[in-house]
Amino acid sequence: MTLKGVKLRIYPNQEQKLKIKLNFGYNRFVWNQMLSMMIKRYENNPKAPFLNAFALDNLLPQLKREHTWLKEAESTSLQAINHDLIEAYKKFFKEHSGFPKFKSRKFPKQSYRSKNGNNAIRVIDDHRINLPKLGIVKYKTGRMIGGKIKSATIEFSSTGKYYAVLLVDSEVNELPKTGKPVGIDMGLADLMIISDGIKYPTIRFDKILAKKKHYWEKRLARRRLQAKKEIAWDHHNKVPNPRDLTDFKNYQKARLMVAKYSEKVANQRSNYLHLLTKQLVEQYDVIKIEDLKAKNLLKNHKLARAIANASWRELRRQLTYKCSWYGKELKIVNPAYTSQICSNCGFHSGKKPLNIREWTCPQCGTHHDRDINAAINILKA
């Protein structure tokens, strides 16, 4: 059995939207309270033993007695928040990642996770699902929901859409073996160059919608500036203005339009990567890709936008779990010198600037396409 995520677009009614919004608030309150308590506890006694999620769950009944409105929250979501907080705290101390931050209601994306206890999360039919505290909600999805549902994450996007991401324990059948290995060289002009000589082009989705997005980005900047001027001072009454940015409808319209175009670019890019990675795992048994450090490459400001658009890390992530699902093998290869070594005789011809796309080996005379040669060396590595 394999854990898979299935994303549904849900359409809650007004009452359900209110319950979702309130539950975001309940989860945010518990997170902030628990984080504040853990910070004070560490300040008072740095040597105190590390708390676990079970210890935080034991504090929930007392918190509900102090704040009775917390009893209306979806109880398993509060336990999930405690678990996530403990994991974030551990990550900070063990992996030296960012310290957990206090949550804000102003953050455009909100979510909470519910566990499936007593079959509270169940599919009624092709268009309706039952969710804890919400009841039956209409939904749409592009795939069948099969298997045992473990949990559901309710999300509210920056574009005002509601989603339910189901974690499903389902059976995945392995794809038939082809007996073919492949090496993949990542690029910018071409997203992937494989050792078979095929090049998959890079599609600049960000540039396709750049004009429309920029149109609204300019208006967003101007409307934000104008709104802040009005907030700073009420010229009529000569006093500070109590209004907030959320009160300015024109500003909110521009913010929503910018978010919609950003979301569309992200969805188009993700869909393109899914199509490519599924095609690769269907055609090859062993896939070798180079271990690129995108974070370091992004320091090149002339190429940073193109590198970010390529989404090499996302492509690698998709290949990793799809190879695991479908019984294929993914190998990560050190990319050092792959474009400098002749794939025919192994002669190292030295570093070449990026504008040299083709070269001839001075030892064996083989003419190479730079990227295809690198892909063949990755396959041989």
- Per the annotation, the verdict on 155 as an active-site residue is no
20, two tokens: 């979702």
Nearest 5°: CA angle at 158, between 213 and 152? Answer: 140
Phi–psi pair at 298, nearest 5 degrees: -70, -15
Beta strands in the chain (DSSP E): 2-11, 110-115, 122-125, 128-131, 135-140, 148-156, 162-170, 181-186, 190-194, 199-201, 286-290, 329-333, 358-360, 367-369
Query: Given 290, 291, 358, 369, which residue is catalytic?
Result: 290
The region that residue 339 occupies, defined by phi over 0 for left and psi between -120 and 50 for alpha, beta otherwise, is alpha
**Residue recorded with tokens 């749409």:** 140
Distance of CA 175 to the CA centre of its chain: 26
Q: Is 290 tagged catalytic?
A: yes
155, 185, 206, 285: the active-site residue: 185
Token look-up 């509601």 returns: 162
170 dihedral zone (left: phi>0; alpha: psi -120 to 50; beta): beta
Q: Is 95 assigned a catalytic role?
A: no
The one catalytic residue in 155, 206, 285, 371 is 371
Q: What is the largest CA-CA distance in the chain?
A: 85
Catalogue the active-site residues.
185, 290, 371
